[in-house]
Chain A
């Protein structure tokens, strides 16, 4: 799209759609109309130059498209009257519109597979093709998910203020997909951060801040998470100078502001753990006792067995690997063949010096790993402990510091 700044278009897409929907246009057809107007803009603006009031231009074109579409649909003709000319929207209205769109796209009636692409397109301004590329799915599949999602949304009554926990969940899923992918494709992690920022501006609740901070504090480590062969680099072996200090500072700031309001939630607590990792100049300087305390709180808040597994790692650091292994035993019933359970146990056995058992468990974890990056990483771990005992450098150093086991 030469000549048309893409970010501008994507911001405008959301604003124009928000304004149309707020003035009574049916969400599904308005979304189609805005997409068509955007296409027109990418064709015309490079020739005519970007109009002085691009939002007004897009709104006019989108409204015309909407009317055209509705002419062919007599049943909807009544509604087109509602979409009358309107004054430009101010920042407050734009925030309200963003919120309205997010509540529609992340409606509790939608499954995540439906809400995710709808949100990326209607609020994120990505094209169906870009979303398909990001998820490595055929374009027709994504197009179908979006149109089915719009049909479901059309049947719902929107009870403002909507359900922000569902919105947070959808944004979290988008971030996670981008974060685990690690390869060069449409940057879903950055996209999730952008959307969460918009939500945070419109709706600065503590958990919204918590999720934004969680994303920033993880995304900051991005450059250090994979090596040149696309192999996963675990946290304790990452080259910390590669971390993005500016992003970490922002994450800490957002998190601190959220925590002072004393309405802790799972995103704030997970962000606090991430902040403690980011704060350590080296793996050895990690404040594990504080991390352990946060995991205790996370378990109280969620009862999530995954949190208990993470807590077992922290216990292993604070009270030694044998204590960590006992904590893994306690959670095993609820996490039977989960690859992370095997991996955590393998890690603790390696630290306790049971290298044969550790190698066996790393190999077992590799078998059920959900991604090739994780599988390959676990295979290398298995090879490493078998050859060098537990002596992965940083781990052995820590054992040296804390021989309490």
Chain B
């Protein structure tokens, strides 16, 4: 079965998020949102589709090779302007791309302010696999 990486971003996708940042929600809205994430992980596990889920901190650094005798070049975060800032992911192993899109849409329906779906953009990336040995 093919694997897909479902990426959540801090700042939106093709369009910026049109909901306020989570630290401006009410405590109950935060709780409901978090419960949804946990339940989603559980649902994927029960369906035999779950591989991994992680959240990554907003803070971080850009690092590159500095040269043979030089220290690594480090640019410290945070990078609030970076649209590509990944917030976390689900890695799933599913029947088809269609099912991956279905899961992504479900993830995007997570409740936000007022309990309404946040319609967050989810980036869906197929994971490359080893070539098939039997053609």
Q: Tell me the A residues contacting B by CB distance below 8 Å.
A: 229-231, 337, 359, 362-363, 366-370, 372, 375-376, 379-380, 382-384, 386-387
Contact = CB atoms under 8 A, between A and B. Distances in A.
Contacts of A370: 57
Given A229-B34, A229-B35, A366 B26 contact: no
Interface residue tally of chain B, by bracket?
10 to 19
Nearest to A359: B23
Given A229-B35, A379-B23, A383-B25, A368 B30 contact: no
Nearest to A383: B27
B59 to A, nearest CB: 6
B31 interface: yes
Contacts of A376: 30, 34
A380 B57 contact: no
A379 B55 contact: no
A231 B38 CA distance: 11
B58 A367 contact: yes
Given A231-B34, A376-B34, A363 B27 contact: no
Interface of B: 22-27, 29-31, 34-35, 38, 55, 57-59, 78
Contacts of B31: 229, 231, 380
Contacts, number: 43
Given A367-B57, A368-B59, A372-B55, A382 B23 contact: yes
> Does more than half of chain A's interface fall in helix, strand or loop, or is it mixed?
helix
Nearest to A364: B23
Contacts of A367: 57-59, 78
Interface centre among A362, A366, A370 (most CB of B within 10 A): A366
A156 to B, nearest CB: 32
B118 to A, nearest CB: 15
A383 B30 contact: yes
24 contacts: A231-B31, A231-B34, A337-B59, A359-B23, A366-B23, A367-B57, A367-B58, A367-B59, A367-B78, A368-B57, A376-B34, A379-B22, A379-B23, A379-B30, A380-B27, A380-B30, A380-B31, A382-B23, A383-B23, A383-B24, A383-B25, A383-B26, A384-B27, A387-B27
Contacts of B22: 379
Given A368-B57, A372-B55, A363 B23 contact: yes
A383 B29 CA distance: 9
A249 B35 CA distance: 35
Contacts of A383: 23-27, 29-30
